[in-house]
Chains A and B, each alone.
Chain A
Amino acid sequence: MTDGKSADLAAKSILIVDGDIISRHAIAAYLCDCAFAVVEAANIDEAKIALGEASLNIDAILCESSALGSQNGFKLANWVRINRPELEVKLAGGLEKAAEAAGQLCESGPRLARPYEPDAVVAYVTRLRATRSS
């Protein structure tokens, strides 16, 4: 789900908000491959701290809301709308949606190293989780 403007921004710095460390790590790594500077936040409070740091120059936010609680995702979107209305917030419910949103960012990002395949991110996360549980 996309909240706000179109996805064709040429963002340089992305704030990822995701309470699941495995998926956050995977999506952050992929966005780094696309030459984005990535700022990670594990929860809304950390996201607000990062957004309040003027020197960070965050261009867009990708929030995977399922691990945060959907209400928290909407709360963050509303907070951004009020406090940083220039920022696009991509609210994604679930890993697959977050991977798709990251793909859209990569398509319009600084460097598309290779065709972005959201499925590859999902597969990577699945593999990491399987490693963890084995």
Chain B
Amino acid sequence: MNLKVAASNAPLVAVPKCILVVEDEPLIRLVICDDLREAGFDVVEACNADEAIVLLAALTPDLISSDVQMPGSIDGSGLLAFVKKTYPHIPVIIASGNWDPTAKEMESAARILTKPFTADALLKAIQEELDIDG
């Protein structure tokens, strides 16, 4: 697993966009965050949806990438609904291995990535959502 610091790599984005990564599996979260930092993003991480909601009250990320099945008072579906209601301007990319979204969730999520997905797939989805040239 590569843990290079973002500053040591040529960023893909001139002005860093902030990505909130919500993932309860620490090693998956670490890989995602590391890859996004390497790509030049500011990354804020939360280990579940409850932590994400606490952060959202204090910070405004440009995009949220979230798992669905997570421990806590709400899961990724609940977080998606909360964000669409409270921060509708923030796109949410849902990354899940086993999720059967409702039509409303399909509409609410900016993208749905099926696990396992590659770092490149997530990066590409984020760049497209934020209209960043890769």
Among B3, B44, B59, the residue within 8 A (CB) of A37 is B3
Separation in Å of the A23 CB from the closest CB of chain B?
A: 11
Within 8 A of B (CB), among A25-65: 25, 32, 35-37, 39-43, 46, 49-50, 53, 55-57
CA distance A13 to B8 in the complex (A): 14
CA distance A13 to B34 in the complex (A): 12
- Fill in one digit per residue for B38-67: 1 if any A CB lies within 8 Å of its CB, else 0: 000000111110010011011100000000
Chain B's closest residue to A49 (CB) is: B26
B51, A56: Cβ atoms under 8 Å? no
Set of chain B residues within 8 Å of A41, measured between Cβ atoms: 26, 47
Chain A's closest residue to B8 (CB) is: A35
Chain B's closest residue to A46 (CB) is: B26
CA distance A123 to B26 in the complex (A): 28
Set of chain A residues within 8 Å of B10, measured between Cβ atoms: none
B58, A132: Cβ atoms under 8 Å? yes
Set of chain A residues within 8 Å of B46, measured between Cβ atoms: 21
CA distance A71 to B4 in the complex (A): 33
CA distance A39 to B7 in the complex (A): 16
Separation in Å of the B112 CB from the closest CB of chain A?
A: 25
A21, B54: Cβ atoms under 8 Å? yes
Q: A40-B45, A42-B47, A50-B30 are in contact. Are A131 and B57 (CB under 8 A)?
A: yes
CA distance A70 to B44 in the complex (A): 26
A22, B55: Cβ atoms under 8 Å? yes
Among A22, A56, A131, the residue within 8 A (CB) of B3 is A56
CA distance A50 to B51 in the complex (A): 19
Q: A49-B26, A50-B26 are in contact. Are A25 and B47 (CB under 8 A)?
A: no
A25, B3: Cβ atoms under 8 Å? no
A131, B58: Cβ atoms under 8 Å? yes
Set of chain A residues within 8 Å of B48, measured between Cβ atoms: 42
CA distance A108 to B6 in the complex (A): 20
Among A32, A40, A46, A55, the residue within 8 A (CB) of B5 is A32
Separation in Å of the B30 CB from the closest CB of chain A?
A: 6
Q: Which 3 A-B pairs have the closest CB atoms?
A: A132-B57, A128-B58, A42-B47
Q: Would you list 12 pairs from A and B whose C-beta atoms are within 8 A, ordered by A residue?
A: A21-B46, A21-B47, A21-B51, A22-B58, A25-B44, A35-B7, A35-B8, A41-B47, A46-B26, A55-B1, A131-B58, A132-B54
* Apart from the given pairs A37-B3, A132-B57, 10 other A-B contacts in the complex at a CB distance below 8 Å: A21-B46, A22-B54, A25-B45, A25-B59, A35-B5, A35-B8, A40-B47, A53-B27, A128-B58, A132-B54
